[in-house]
Homo-oligomer: A and B are copies of this chain.
Amino acid sequence: MEKDSYRLEAFSDGVFSVAITLLVLDLKVPILEPAGSGRLLAALWEEWPTYAAFCLTFASVLVMWINHHGIFKEVRKTSNALFLSNGLLLLLVTTTPFTTALVTRYYRTPAASAAAAVYCGSFVLISVAYNWLWSAASACCRTTEHLRRVTRNYRIGFPIYCVATAAAFVHPALALGICLGLWVFWLYTMREA
């Protein structure tokens, strides 16, 4: 039987894969005049927050995609709520290159708090979209044990992202660390059946 959700998944995969690849546009080649091998390596090294932010966000989009995959594995029929919640999620996913660029640009300035708060705040919205998507998915498909466990693990996202957003105003690095911890936790717990 053909899955009705087939093209929904294909479109979502497309958006996820373009968004995750556009992150590379944040990596800028340093402009040095005059150039020298030592200076170039130093200039690249200097840019470490950019690379860290790139890896951090790449991991987050990857975790989101794996979750998306996990949810849709059980979905056979589509509904309006599924289209809308999935649309909201994709809208938020496509903004990650922007919020990442914001953190990269301002991480070593006095505006680090605001940048980290916006970054974490976008994940608060993403967790809201995920919860909506989950309830839409469970309304139109059988809720397997797998889906229930995914949900249980993912439900902690909303409160923890809220804490991270608040923490950003006190200590930006801590906020980003909380997000990273969450993604590592998800990567290790969500797929193992």
Most chain B Cβ neighbours within 10 Å, of A69, A112, A192: A69
User: B17, B59, B113: which contacts A15 (Cβ < 8 A)?
Assistant: B17
- Total copies of this chain within the assembly: 4
- Contact, CB under 8 Å: A27 / B80: no
Cβ contact within 8 Å between B7 and A94: no
A114–B38 touching, CB < 8 Å: yes
Specify the chain B residue showing the minimal Cβ separation from A84. Answer: B187
Please pick, from B22, B32, B37, B83, the residue contacting A24 in the complex, using a CB distance under 8 A: B22
Give the chain B neighbours of A90 by CB distance below 8 A: 20, 62
Compute how far the CA of A115 lies from the CA of B10 in the bound complex, rounded to whole angstroms. 33
B44, B65, B191: which contacts A118 (Cβ < 8 A)? Answer: B44
Q: Which residues of A contact B (CB under 8 A)?
A: 7-11, 13-25, 27, 29, 31-32, 34-41, 44, 54-55, 58-59, 62, 65-66, 69, 72, 78-80, 83-84, 87, 90-91, 94-95, 97-98, 101-102, 105-106, 109-115, 118, 169, 187-188, 191-192
